[in-house]
Amino acid sequence: MCPDEQQINYTSLTDSRELPAISQAAGGSKLRPFGLLAELTYRCPLHCPYCSNPVQLSQEQRENELTTAEWQRVIREAASLGVLHLLFSGGEPLLRRDLPTLVATARSVGLYTNLLTSALGLTRRRLQELQEAGLDSVQISFQADEAALANGIAGCPGAHERKLEAARLVKASGLPLSINLVLHRGNIERLPALIALAEQLGAQRLELANTQYLGWAFCNRMALLPTRAQVQQAEIIVRAAQERLRGRMEVLYVLPDYYAERPKPCLYGWGRRYLSVTPDGAVLPCQNARMIPDLHFDNVRQRSLAEIWERSEAFERFRGSHWMPEPCRSCPLREQDFGGCRCQAFLLTGNAANTDPACSLSPYHSRLLSIIAEVEQQQSASSSGPDSPFAPNGQPLIPIRFRTNP
């Protein structure tokens, strides 16, 4: 919930082309996770208005980070559980001085590691330490192609220039480089230049992920949500880039839920392929799940990762399709989209068990359409077409809540 409201990429984890079929334990009775998102800290030098950090954090959640030894145990338990892919994230994972140690631990148990970073703090020496520890790949987030705008969106002067330097260091190191760009009304009109930036940096992979309107992004949805026409034009631009860059750079595009007719499966099914561990040790089926108030999430300080994955009440609550209301219960696609996003259902309807309003068949679809209509009306009132919420110098033109914690 937003601080003053009373109501209601991972894209790197959600590209189906990277995923094997769901693996099962011996006997075929239990699912096994494919990937683990390790959120090492909530601390971050950036203040993006779509940050995935929880909007409300307790002092204990902010300060009670897992120790090095605790994270090492989690990593070993993850490997034993069947995890193959480990993503180090945050906040900003580079703020943990023990990051090379954790990377080395992951390498020792055969996990593929990916660093998801703002790149602030990724110096030549730091990168060398991580590479020597066994880091497999790096994903750097960018906010725009032009420094003033990018720094304004990030709420951090000088960030863009440091990101460019870090990207060049990664490229020179030989590690695979991915660029992540979160799209919204403040940068979607610059899509050709954003793609060109990734090309110039020599990225092997470009993730163009439309903002997921949860957490801080939900607070800023009226400022960040693009119009339908902008989204349609973006699709045309992306398809052309995918064709032109085929074999040179993989370009992924994630359509915003608000403009989709069908909901996306929550990480390919709640508690089926992925899990996330927060900085203070809570284990979640997805990194945003803590916003659902009636769920209790077990902690790795009290229970093993395997115990939580296999028997946690929170993981079982929306696993599979037995819990679904109508129209999901009788829908032939229920084992494909699993009812959509539980967090989005909670934010827009007040009940995480409801059908995701992103689905055109949802009884609550009109709530999502009303948000779109309000944005369209707001933007059609402008004689110059859809307005960016940011000036070219990065200054907000309308009220925007930048992340303020921790």
Report the binding-site residues: 44, 48, 51
d(CA 309, CA 316): 9
d(CA 365, CA 375): 16
| Residues 343/289, Cβ–Cβ less than 8 Å | yes
d(CA 303, CA 386): 50
234: number of Cβ within 10 Å: 20
CA distances from 25 to 28, 80, 253, 265, 368 (A): 5, 11, 33, 22, 39
| Residues 202/164, Cβ–Cβ less than 8 Å | no
Burial of 243 (0-12, 13-18, 19+ CB in 10 A): exposed
Annotated binding site for [4Fe-4S] cluster: 44, 48, 51
Burial of 136 (0-12, 13-18, 19+ CB in 10 A): middle
Residue from 337, 219, 346 nearest 290 by CA: 346
CA distances from 233 to 146, 286, 303 (A): 21, 30, 48
